[in-house]
Amino acid sequence: MSEMSQRTKDTVQRWLNDPYVDEETKRELRALENDTRELEERFYRDLEFGTGGLRGVIGAGSNRMNKYTVGRATQGFAQYILETHGQKEEKPSVVIAHDSRHFSPEFALEAALVLAGNGIVAKLYPSLRSTPQLSFSVRHLDASAGIVITASHNPPEYNGYKVYNQEGGQLVPHEAEKVIALIQQVDSFAAVKKLSREEAEAQGLLVWLGKAEDQAFIDTVAAVSVNREAIASRLADDFKIVFTPLHGTGHEPVKRVLETIGFKHIYVVPEQQQPDADFSTVKSPNPEEREAFTLAMKLGEEVGADILIGTDPDADRMGAVVKNSQGEYIVLTGNQSGAIMIHYLMSQLKDAGKLPNNGAVIKTIVTSEMGAAIAEHYGATVLNTLTGFKYIGEKMTQFEQSGSHTFLFGYEESYGYLAGNYARDKDAVLASMLICEAAAYYKGQGKTLYDVLQELYEQFGYFLEKLESRTLKGKDGVAQIAAKMSDWRNDPPQEIGGIRVEQVLDYANGLDGLPKENVLKYLLEDGSWFCLRPSGTEPKIKVYFAVRGASIADAQEKIETLVDHVMARVDA
């Protein structure tokens, strides 16, 4: 890509000539004058809404995260809010939160001032708060919408911008399409309406949130606990938790909610306690990865911890680490943690006579069937959605409006969980509380979570899952991912490793009443499946695998064969 396209040249020139673009940004662009490849990457398109908003590398350019792309997106979103809420409400309002990343406070304030410029009240948290607290606050404060500035677990050079509807859920496709169309109508930075901070505050269009909203969130999460009295009275006495917020927003809320329900021995990894936009102690601030728990494992050994937990930078995803029968630390997969929490929650509700007869568990199409088998064992209905917690949130709202089901638990294999009806997004604060509570409860019975997992395998079957992904960056990467999906779609395999492919589910056609999405799922004759999906938030193609074996060894052999055969073709 040595030559710049004409579109890129024109867009770069427009930025350099625009009086609304500051001199510092123009200097950054002029310094790249001879780097045509970099300029092409920065300007070959406008940064687009993926699964929930913008996400991209920070820097100058239309395909980058900066105050101009944030301002333009907010102008479009403001127009959407005025069109959908302006007639119903005297002054619509939007709650805004941000995480610990580079420029997160600046982007949050930029969004607030653009909303204020459109006559919309911006209710802004002054310092970092978790994504689930944002979802809760939209509902709690009866706001029209929400915005959170975060790139979740992406590398440090990224930031993002997620938008939420009145229910506290990320926008679903029919809402996002309207917002995208309105953003595209913002054809210049001059069209972005904006007040100064002083003007916005003086007019009551910029309101600062704080301790009262924090306390309401903690109290609401703690109320989901099913064994609070037992934790406080006896189970917490000798139960030790090591926690790492991985330099993100999780430290305060997770610690507070654990203390609220009675836990006494919580050890926070000191090197990872403070917010750090560079995530300097980890390769990736991702609680799915064992490496992220290196320091937590060291501290766990020192204090004799019963469980290690970690949350990602915006505290919507939680990972847990427990010891196996050999005394070695294992990172539970998202599917395993989900299965344990479903079993714990539903068994406790059943024992207390509080299990509703119309209970429902919601999971995604790439999440293990193990949690489904457990939920159905307790009489719950299990519903599948596309990947993305916004779809789980949408179902929850439908339940609330129709009364058809009582929501019990929702989860994704990618470490996102929710119980309780207070939010419409995954919550690592709640998940941290629930998995620690389960671990303490089973310790009281002489069992670890690893022991509980083995019992669940014996009862429900040896389910095993794996995720493989391939990162393909930039303009070329987008084309490569599209080509791979086309190849699998147009030439589906008849068999994999000697096992017949029984059915191909192409979700691009809108299956099972779900929105259309570029996802392919292959069901094999022996009950195994695999699924191909381009990531909505990262430059990756993801491949999900799932098997059910007669034993752990059998399941392991099945999944290795399946992965080897599929990835050989993906990589070809």
Helix (H) or strand (E) holding 457: helix 449-460
Residues 6+ apart with CB under 8 A from 376: 382
> Within 19-171, where are the H helices?
23-30, 36-43, 67-85, 104-117, 131-140
CA distance 281 to 286: 12
Q: Report the length, in residues, of the chain.
A: 572
Are the CB atoms for 396 and 424 separated by under 8 Å? Answer: yes
The answer to whether the beta carbons of residues 63 and 54 sit under 8 Å apart is: no
Pairing mode, strands 495-496 and 499-506: antiparallel
Burial (CB < 10 A; 0-12, 13-18, 19+), residue 289, is middle
* From 152, 225, 368, 414, the catalytic residue: 152
Distance of CA 551 to the CA centre of its chain: 32
Distance CA 512, CA 285 (A): 35
Q: Is 389 left (phi over 0), alpha (psi -120 to 50) or beta?
A: alpha
Question: What is d(CA 321, CA 328) in angstroms, rounded to the nearest whole number?
Answer: 10
As a whole number of angstroms, the distance between CA 258 and CA 557 comes to 39
Q: Any alpha helices (H) in 471-512, and if so which ranges?
A: 474-490
Three-state secondary-structure class, residue 331? strand
Stated as kind and residue range, the H or E segment containing 496 is strand 495-496
**Active-site annotation holds for 152:** yes
3-state secondary structure 40-79: HHHHCCCCCCCCCEEEEEECCCCCCECHHHHHHHHHHHHH
Tell me which H or E stretch contains 546: strand 540-549
Spatial separation of the C-alpha atoms in residues 115 and 195, rounded to whole Å? 9
> For residue 109, which amino acid is it?
L
Q: Distance (Å, rounded) from C-alpha 310 to C-alpha 287?
A: 6
Question: Which residues are designated catalytic?
Answer: 152
